A and B are shown apart, each in its own frame.
Chain A
Amino acid sequence: MTNEMAALREFRSEVPEPSEVRLRVVEARMVAHLHGAPAPRRAVRRIAWRVGLAAGLAGAVTVGVVTIRHQPSAPAAPPPLAQPSGAATSGTGPRIQPVSAAQVLDLAAQAAQGGGEITPRADQFIVYESITMYTADVGDGSRYLYRTKRTAWLSADGTRTGSVRIEYLQPQAYPGWPIPPQAKQEVGRVDLLPVCGSPNNYVRLRTLPTDPQRMFAYLQSQASGGGDRNHRLWEAAGDLLRENYLPPAQRAALYRAINLIPGVVLVPQARDAAGRAGVAVGIVDRQAGVRDEIVFAPDTYRYLGERAFVVDAATAKAPVGSQLAGTAELSVTVADSAPVATSGPKGPDCR
């Protein structure tokens, strides 16, 4: 061959690869823009959970037929709630069996004022422990449901570098699909990744409206873009709940704002990804062929997690009624610092 390519390869070859330190700086800048950025297809937030994963889930997986439309009065007595676990029964007075999504959301809003809150300082971190199950859509056409134990340390005012620790647990099959071999290889792996610049930080969330109508207007402002308008409003609401600590007044307003989204239905029995019994509200995401749900504790109406169930087998490529979504928020606490998520030199602080 000729020499011109060799000469070209030498041309400016003195330009070195960057130092680790400089790369970390760029990485931090990039990461600052990732967290809290709108997902391209939040609609397909397929938190994946297989039907019947936990014994006793059978009642919950038939929610497709027991959901009740948004309506002011009860058409009939809803199915009884699942038996709660012992810890979940230490509730607040007599159990009310909700008969509508509106009622669940109203109870959740009332309960938001009930105390038991954390009080982070601006310079602290809020620590969210959760388990999640989502779809891993592997490039070769296979897919499975990957499960993680996840801990996020998020700066209360968004100015400090936080981190998220992701531990991969045993995977599950995507309903009706074989588990690909690579699904098992990652079990036990732990990723520790930096997080900074969270736009939905606690200090900012404190400034959100405390009035339901104005909170709904805020959701509308966040729900730009195409697709199913109602589902986008729902997504905007979910973005405020997930790994976020909303002050009680804003939380109450948010729950009442969700009630203003058309198409929200009651799901009387819903277990979260930790197996805790609860009650949920949901909305159909036609683009994904699933119904997304937010699960509340049946007694305290505290937020427990999220789920998604197939309602359109052709779109979701899984049987109707199978569960493709499962998270559980296990704890929300306060810490003074976050683990350092970069090897080598200390990562730069968020600016």
Chain B
Amino acid sequence: MSTPTRTVDDSLATAPQPSDAEIIARSRDEPETFALLFRRHSAPLHRYIARRLGPHVVEDVLAEVFLAAFRERGRYDHDRADARPWLYGIATNLIGRHRRAEVRALRNLERTGFDPVTEAFVERSDARVGAAAVGHRLAAALAGLRPGYRDALLLVAWGQLSYEETAAALGIPVGTVRSRISRARRDMRAALGGIDPTSIQEES
């Protein structure tokens, strides 16, 4: 009866890393390797889901994203080295199950200025002048978008996916992504109206 010595898990930081596609392929035979995919992508995915649905369901949704991905791993397209579009696509579907709650929170923010999604982190936010007014209007605009438009817009704005990646995530042509985002941006602009929405630097 031996007691194994502790092994320090530091090799992950220095050794060459396999691609997402390779991790997924391996997880067919060695399920545990799927944890590597989780470690690689879970933090930004967590934040993305939290920004859409708030802190109460984020862990459930995040776990479900990776479990759904695990169940579907046999169908992963191995020409895609980067699994982010795939994972964000699965996350989008699962977020869609909370659509009513998501819209309710946005409407709540629009009406009351109280955002249930950010309440837990409110002390960390900058006290920006005018942020509240912008938040009201953005919330109204986001709540008013059709779901497919909101998904495309937020994958680009918050998920930091390219248009091509967003198209892959949503399973729609990139031309459709372009038209949805351009339409959604027009709606956002209209909602922001005459207000100078930012004291923020322009993005390119």
Interface residues of A (CB under 8 A from B): 1-18, 22-23, 25-27, 29-31, 33-37, 39-41, 44-47, 124, 127, 134, 136-141, 146, 151, 153, 164-166, 182, 185-186, 188-195, 333-343
Contacts and interface: CB of A to CB of B under 8 A. Distances in A.
Contacts of A3: 192, 196-198, 200, 202
Given A31-B32, A35-B31, A17 B46 contact: yes
Contacts of A341: 9
A185 to B, nearest CB: 4
Interface residues of B, number: 85
11 contacts: A3-B196, A8-B153, A9-B157, A13-B125, A26-B38, A26-B46, A26-B62, A34-B27, A136-B22, A138-B22, A335-B4
Contact of B117 (A15, A40, A195): A15
Contact of B42 (A9, A26, A339): A26
B4 A127 contact: yes
Given A15-B117, A15-B118, 6 more contacts: A1-B204, A12-B51, A14-B118, A35-B31, A186-B18, A191-B36
A146 B23 CA distance: 12
Interface in B104-148: 115, 117-118, 121-122, 124-126, 128, 131, 134-135, 138-139, 142
Contact of B38 (A17, A27, A137, A185): A27
A14 B124 contact: yes
A190 B7 contact: yes
Contacts of B33: 166, 191, 193
A150 to B, nearest CB: 8
B36 A6 contact: no
Contacts of B3: 335-337
Contacts of A189: 11, 15-16
A31 B201 CA distance: 41
